[in-house]
Amino acid sequence: KAGVTQTPRYLIKTRGQQVTLSCSPISGHRSVSWYQQTPGQGLQFLFEYFSETQRNKGNFPGRFSGRQFSNSRSEMNVSTLELGDSALYLCASSLAGAGLYNEQFFGPGTRLTVL
């Protein structure tokens, strides 16, 4: 079974631009969660989508948004990029959800650098 894939793996943008990251979950997984990983803040939960609906949301500004398609693939968008958005963005999929007994399967991440 193929694992979680994320594209692109690396991205360089400038302040003020916007960016879209993509995540394809493991086949059969309906939940996709996104995380931001930085040296200063560690791993922080962004949001979770399940069956095309945002089910949980972390404490991030509205510049961070996402969506999920009917095939469970998910995209994450960050508008008006700031230097502090430089991070490794991880996507994880699970059968039913980010919490409640379920383990998550993580992709390799997208390394975003904002100049």
Partner 1 sequence: AQSVTQLDSHVSVSEGTPVLLRCNYSSSYSPSLFWYVQHPNKGLQLLLKYTSAATLVKGINGFEAEFKKSETSFHLTKPSAHMSDAAEYFCVVSPRGGSYIPTFGRGTSLIVHP
Residues of this chain that bind partner 1 (CB under 8 A): 4, 35, 42-45, 48, 56, 58, 90, 92, 97-109
SS3 77: strand
DSSP label at residue 107: -
SS3 24: strand
Least CB distance to partner 1 at residue 31 (A)? 11
Tokens encoding 7 = 């594209």
The smaller minimum CB distance to partner 1, of residues 2 and 103, is found at 103
The smaller minimum CB distance to partner 1, of residues 10 and 70, is found at 10
